Amino acid sequence: MKNAEGRTPRELFTVELKILLHSGEKWMKNTATSCMIVATLIATMVSSAAFIVPSGNNEKTGIPIHLIETAFHVFAISDAIALSFYSISILMFLSIHTSAILPLIHKLMKHSARAARPAAGLCADLASAIFSGCAKNGFALVRPPGHHASVRQSMGFCLHNNAAVAALVAQTAGVKKVLIVDRDVHHGNGTQEIFEQNKSMPWTYL
């Protein structure tokens, strides 16, 4: 079986996987750079707040003018808490997002296509079994359902749009109308793209 471009599933997902690996590495580097820029800005603001006392200090004693006021104590405590959380978050980020994580991601993604194909096949077989009468109903225990995968691109940890595969198999078998209900907190952009021109395949997002 080949697609419109004449590529088999294996050829298609081999290419897609290489693109995902390259894009993922580039995204991580850009994200790390952006986070470090934001961290620098936060550090600048927190440091400024830590060393610049509201209303200044008494010129004779050097003690903050509002030292005895409750609002000043609240400011000092909140500033200390903010500085602590900032330091902890930076240390956590640096301990996780290092160059050592890239080989791990490559290792995890190496067999993703091989694991995703049976999931899509299961959904297709289930739809066929229900339509043919071999099964009254069914539940495909696969993860993820693939609602981010579109016609030409895999994204959002979705290599195949399993829900779309099942719906199209059912439609090809003779089912006139199929309803896809997506209750994920994320928008199923891939499913929308696949079926937005197909009037016989209504799709709703909850």
Concatenated DSSP letters of 135-155: -S------S---TT--SS--B
- Coil/strand/helix, residue 91: helix
Rounded to 10 degrees, the C-alpha dihedral 158/164/169/173 comes to 180
Rounded to 10 degrees, the C-alpha dihedral 39/40/43/47 comes to -170
Contacts 24+ apart (CB under 8 A), 149-155: 149/190, 150/189, 150/190, 150/193, 150/194, 151/193, 151/194, 153/16, 153/190, 154/13, 154/16, 154/20, 155/190
Both tokens assigned to 176:
């006139």
Q: Tokens 């006139």 sit at which residue?
A: 176
Please give the pLDDT value at position 162: 92
For residue 53, what are the contacts with CB-CB under 8 A and spacing of at least 6?
Answer: 64, 65
pTM: 0.50
Please give the pLDDT value at position 144: 75
Both tokens assigned to 32:
């790390």
- Per-residue pLDDT 10s for the chain (206 aa) are 566 667 665 665 566 666 666 666 677 677 767 766 776 776 676 666 666 667 777 777 777 777 778 887 887 788 778 777 777 776 776 666 555 665 666 666 667 778 888 888 889 999 989 988 899 898 988 887 789 888 888 888 888 899 999 988 888 888 888 888 888 888 888 888 888 877 677 766 66
Residues annotated as part of the active site: 148
Please give the pLDDT value at position 205: 66
Please give the pLDDT value at position 50: 61
